[in-house]
Structures are given as structure tokens and as C-alpha cells.
């Protein structure tokens, strides 16, 4: 993992050092700050990518392959910030009291310097004081093979290539829920390494643990389980919210076990594969069944475009909290371009979600896993309603009615979200108007 920070003015080393200290977890003890013409730039990084960060004396970047990119560079005397099209790498920016622009990989790194913080949207660049697209919002149309058999073969080839490009070290593993997406990543990566680790987390008896064991035995990985209790989750909750920089209920709920399994993984490997993006690209969610086929492609593009504030934020922050480098191969540019071009009828086919993906990996996985229906992340891990029940016990109806409307006009949806918001404010009492923060689609923001 890596993190970057900087200020668009020279000789601001002390301020950049302060920013980097807040995101030191994104590296593994390596840090650099230098003055470029017109800017002070800095980065923290791990052993996996020391040469890719401090480039030519005028730029820093968080870049680990697979399309991931957050960069800051001087071009003709101007600071230019760029973020990849999906938002695999986070990037925030703002202005200091003296008018200088500042930036960092996480909100916490610059909120101590300014109250004016914004998220740079995926696929955009900040230049000369303006945010503008860095390319087309929708990938160029791609011709796909005519038959589903040919589509499946091409999809398999691109997935294999994406995984292969990420294997820069033998010290690698995969988060494994036992669902189709994470199992696909693990099964594709396993033959390309001599030793491969898999990691699963959940409450005792959780279905994810059972399915993950089956996949691990099938592919021959060294499997690790993290058995979690409600007490474990509540202890971890403040740390999770600190790293997430969010109180969005669905995001926090899905991140707690991910955070704990990432902690375990960091004791064994430096890099992990994750299955994020499969549901958005191949129509894995239950609600998509109710959408007319003619509108499905647009909905998939929309939810894929929101990943940077949901699943990708979870992956990035849970991995970076423990110095891990995550690989999200479903969102590799080659895989994603093909996936978005595949007709909707091959994604939801014969009432089976992700049908074309299942065809592409049919020979890699046990049938029980290959045809497993989608489970929400926290449900598969066994979290269920435990956290909402905890909030019900802690927060009265009167307190919820009084505190659910936030100063910026947002309305909290549940007592669970209020519980998270309270923890968020413990870390970020001066978080500003929260315009830099995303929320899950469907959550009211006014």
C-alpha cells in the first residue's frame, strides 16, 4: 500500500510531514518528502513499490497496477492531481488559509491543515484550480464475441491476465468469503504461486467460513480463519471508523470483519486479492432482477461508478490500515471494458445472476460454490443484525429523534448509523460540511 500528500508551495516540509504521519499506516515504515519546483511532495510506501512512488523529482503517486492511480505532479509550473477512472486509489484536496492547494490519500491527513476538503472524483484531474474529466466518462464501446461460449473464454483470458500482472511477489494471498467473486480470484491466482494463503472471517457457524474452507481445500491454499464475536466487533469499531472516515451504516457494517481479516492477513502476506467489482459488473445483486433488461446496463454502470465510496473504500482502508496492497482484478481496465460491453441477457440469464462469469470459471470451483447465491457481505460473515440490535439497546427513541438530523442537513437513517456517527465524531470533531464523504446509493443526503 502507499499514500501521498503534498502542498502546492515550496519548503513546506513540516506540514507535509504532519500529513504523512496521519497516513503512515499506508506504508511499512518508508517515507520521503522533497521539494519540487513549486511544490512540496511526500509519500509513504511499502517494500512492494519503492521505485514507483518518488518518480523524477517532480511527482508522487500511489500506483500498484490494475489501473490503480492517484498522482500529483508538476506540469509547466502547475500542480496537477489525477485519480483513476474507478477510484481504486483515494485522493482528497483542499486549499489552505494562504490559498495554496494541498492533497492527500486520506481526509485525516489534510483536515488538520484546512477545513476546506474535497474528494477528487474518479476519472478526474485537478488543474489550475478546476476539476475536469481526464477522459471519457464511459469506456469506449468494445465489440464482444457473438456466442456466450466465446464471451466466457475471452472473459476468462482477461481475468487470468489481470491476476498474472498483479503477481509481483510470492508473498501473496486472497481474502476469501467463499462467494463466487473472491473464490474466482483465489482460484486464478493459486496455480501461479508455490504457496498461496487465503483468509476468511466470520462468527462461529457463519456460512462464509464453511464455503471458504471448501474453496481453500479445493485449490490447495494455506487457509486462515478469524473467528469473530460481537465483543470483537465492538472493540474494533472505533478503529474501523477512524480508517474508513465514514459513518455510512452499510459501509461500516461490511467493513468490520474485513478489517479483522486484513489484520490477520498482514501477519502472513504483503498483498491480497479481493473480489470487489464482480457484483456490479455482472449483475450480482438481488434487486437487479426487478430492473427491466433494457435498463440493466445503465444501472450496472451507475453502481460501478459509485464503488469508490462503498466497496472500494472498504477494500482500500481495511488493507491500508495494516499496510497491505490490495488487488481488485475485476476492475482491471481490460476486464472492465469487456464486462461493460457484455449484453445484459448473459449476465442475468435463466434467472441466474452473474451467469456469464459462472460459465467462465466453471472448471475452477466446486459446484456448490460456483452456483452459490449472492449473500450480503455481513450476512455471509454471520454479522446479521447484531450491530443494529446493539444500537437499539444503546440509543433511545428520544435520542435518535433529537440527533438524527445532522448540521449539514443529512438525515441518519437508523440508530445503527447514529451509533457510527457518534464514533466518527470522536475522531473527526471538525469534519466540515461532509461534502467530501460519499454515502451508499439510496441513503438520503438531504
pLDDT tens column, 72-90: 999 988 999 999 999 999 9
Across residues 128-154, what is the average pLDDT?
A: 87
Of 142, 186, 184, nearest in space to 334 by CA: 142
User: For helices 333-341 and 293-305, what crossing angle results, to 10°?
Assistant: 160
Please state the pTM of the whole predicted model: 0.94
Tell me the sheet residues that pair with 94: 102, 117
Q: Which of 5-19, 152-166, 282-296, 431-445 has the lowest mean pLDDT?
A: 431-445
Pairing of the two strands 30-36 and 39-45: antiparallel
Give the separation between CA 230 and CA 235, rounded to whole angstroms. 9
List the grid coordinates of 249: 451504516
Q: To the nearest 5 percent, what fractions of the chain are helix, strand and coil?
A: 45, 20, 40
Query: What is 2-133's CATH topology?
Result: 3.60.20
Q: Domain limits of the chain? A: 2-133, 148-384, 389-427
How much is the pLDDT for 378?
54
Q: Can you give the pLDDT at residue 170?
A: 79
Q: Beta strand pairing status for 92-95 and 39-45?
A: unpaired
- 274, pLDDT greater than 90: yes
pLDDT of residue 142: 79
pLDDT for 442 equals 64
Query: Is 363 a residue whose pLDDT tops 80?
Result: yes
> Residues 350-357: what's their mean pLDDT?
95
Q: Which residues contact 42 (CB under 8 A, 6 or more apart)?
A: 4, 5, 6, 16, 17, 19, 20, 31, 32, 33, 34, 60
Note the pLDDT of residue 446.
Answer: 39
Helices (H), 291-363: 293-305, 311-320, 333-341, 355-360
Residue 377: per-residue pLDDT: 56
C-alpha torsion sign, points 287, 289, 295, 300? positive
- pLDDT at residue 49, as a whole number: 58
Across residues 116-145, what is the average pLDDT? 88
369-380 pLDDT, tens per residue? 999 987 655 555
Output the pLDDT for position 48.
59
Would you place residue 56 in the very low, low, confident or very high pLDDT band (cuts 50, 70, 90)?
A: low
* CATH 3.40.50.620, applies to 148-384: yes
Amino acid at each position: 500500500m502507499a499514500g501521498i500528500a503534498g502542498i502546492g508551495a515550496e519548503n513546506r516540509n513540516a506540514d507535509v510531514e504532519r500529513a504523512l504521519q496521519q497516513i503512515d499506516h499506508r506504508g511499512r515504515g518508508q517515507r520521503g518528502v522533497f521539494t519540487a519546483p513549486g511544490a512540496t511532495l511526500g509519500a509513504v510506501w511499502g517494500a512492494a513499490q519503492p521505485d514507483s512512488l518518488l518518480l523524477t523529482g517532480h511527482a508522487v503517486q500511489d500506483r500498484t497496477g490494475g489501473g490503480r492511480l492517484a498522482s500529483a505532479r508538476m506540469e509547466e509550473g502547475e500542480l496537477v492531481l489525477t485519480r483513476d477512472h474507478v477510484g481504486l486509489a483515494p485522493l482528497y484536496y483542499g486549499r489552505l488559509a494562504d490559498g495554496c492547494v494541498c492533497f492527500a490519500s486520506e481526509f485525516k491527513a489534510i483536515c488538520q491543515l484546512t477545513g476546506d476538503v474535497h474528494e477528487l472524483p474518479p476519472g478526474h484531474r485537478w488543474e489550475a484550480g478546476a476539476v475536469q474529466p481526464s477522459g471519457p466518462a464511459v469506456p469506449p464501446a468494445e465489440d464482444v464475441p457473438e456466442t456466450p461460449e466465446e464471451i466466457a473464454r475471452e472473459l476468462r483470458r482477461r481475468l487470468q491476465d489481470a491476476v498474472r500482472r498483479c503477481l509481483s511477489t510470492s508473498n501473496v494471498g486472497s481474502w476469501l468469503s467463499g462467494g463466487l467473486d473472491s473464490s474466482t480470484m483465489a482460484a486464478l491466482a493459486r496455480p501461479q504461486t508455490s504457496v498461496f494463503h487465503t483468509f476468511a472471517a466470520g462468527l462461529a457457524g457463519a456460512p462464509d467460513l464453511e464455503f471458504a474452507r471448501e474453496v481453500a481445500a479445493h485449490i490447495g491454499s494455506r487457509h486462515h480463519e478469524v473467528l469473530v464475536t460481537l465483543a470483537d466487533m465492538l472493540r474494533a469499531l472505533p478503529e474501523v471508523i477512524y480508517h474508513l472516515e465514514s459513518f455510512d451504516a452499510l459501509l461500516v457494517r461490511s467493513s468490520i470483519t474485513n478489517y479483522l481479516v486484513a489484520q490477520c492477513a498482514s501477519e502472513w502476506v504483503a498483498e491480497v486479492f479481493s473480489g470487489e467489482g464482480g457484483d456490479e459488473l455482472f449483475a450480482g445483486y438481488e434487486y437487479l432482477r426487478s430492473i427491466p433488461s433494457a435498463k440493466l446496463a445503465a444501472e450496472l454502470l451507475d453502481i460501478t461508478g459509485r464503488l469508490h465510496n462503498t466497496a472500494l473504500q472498504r477494500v482500500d482502508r481495511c488493507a491500508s490500515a495494516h499496510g497491505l496492497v490490495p488487488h481488485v482484478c475485476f476492475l482491471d481496465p481490460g476486464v472492465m471494458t469487456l464486462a461493460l460491453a457484455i449484453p445484459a441477457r448473459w449476465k442475468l440469464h435463466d434467472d441466474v445472476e452473474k451467469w456469464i462469469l459462472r460459465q467462465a470459471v466453471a472448471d475452477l470451483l466446486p459446484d456448490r460454490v460456483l452456483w452459490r447465491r449472492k449473500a450480503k457481505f455481513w450476512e455471509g460473515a454471520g454479522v446479521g443484525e447484531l450491530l443494529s440490535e446493539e444500537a437499539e439497546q444503546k440509543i433511545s427513541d428520544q435520542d435518535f429523534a433529537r440527533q438524527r438530523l445532522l448540521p449539514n442537513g443529512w438525515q441518519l437513517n437508523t440508530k445503527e448509523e447514529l451509533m457510527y456517527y457518534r464514533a466518527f465524531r470522536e475522531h473527526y470533531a471538525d469534519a466540515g460540511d461532509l461534502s467530501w464523504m460519499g454515502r451508499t446509493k439510496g441513503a438520503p443526503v438531504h
